[in-house]
């Protein structure tokens, strides 16, 4: 089953003629953020301090909760997992769309340059 993010991205991707796993990778990243947010809100934060746990259960609970928080919240670290994945997708998208922004003619900059200053 595709998520809403995958459906919207794949629709745009198909209409733009972009092939490959770019949309799928974007959807995976976005879905991991949504899944972590849902897990934190519906399971981990509700159990925190309310459900009695043994020490090893509590440590496991904290480790899993911190893993989901690491996905959901930007840690502002240089090696943030989600930021690195999104940067890889952005780099791929930039390389695909770069030809669209190349200067159409080399003389365009000559003809559009302001040669004299207005006083």
* pLDDT tens by residue, 52-69: 889 999 899 889 998 888
Of 68, 67, 48, residue with least CA distance to 58: 48
- pLDDT tens-digit map of 83-108: 888 888 888 888 888 877 776 666 76
Q: Give pLDDT, residue 105.
A: 64
Q: Angle 78-82-88 (CA atoms, 0-180°, nearest 5)?
A: 85
Report yes or no: 18 and 32 within 8 Å, Cβ to Cβ.
Answer: no
Q: Which residues contact 9 (CB under 8 A, 6 or more apart)?
A: 23, 26, 27
Burial 87-117 (b: 16+ CB within 10 A, else e): eebeebeeeeeeeeeeeeeeeeeeeeeeeee
What integer pLDDT is reported at residue 15 of this predicted model?
Answer: 44
pLDDT at 60: 92
Predicted confidence (pLDDT) at residue 80 exceeds the cutoff of 50: yes
* Residues 6-17: tens digit of each pLDDT: 444 455 455 444
Q: Is the pTM of this model over 0.85?
A: no
Tell me the domain boundaries of the chain: 4-100
């Amino acid at each position: 089953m595709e998520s809403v993010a995958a459906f919207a991205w794949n629709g745009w991707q198909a209409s733009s003629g972009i092939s490959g796993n770019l949309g799928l990778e974007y959807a995976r990243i976005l879905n991991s953020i949504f899944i972590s947010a849902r897990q934190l809100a519906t399971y981990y934060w509700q159990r925190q301090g309310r459900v009695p746990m043994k020490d090893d259960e509590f440590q496991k609970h904290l480790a899993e909760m911190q893993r989901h928080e690491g996905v959901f919240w930007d840690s502002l670290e240089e090696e943030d997992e989600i930021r690195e994945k999104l940067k890889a997708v952005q780099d791929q998208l930039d390389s695909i769309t770069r030809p669209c922004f190349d200067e159409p003619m080399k003389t365009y900059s000559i003809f559009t340059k302001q040669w004299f200053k207005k006083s």
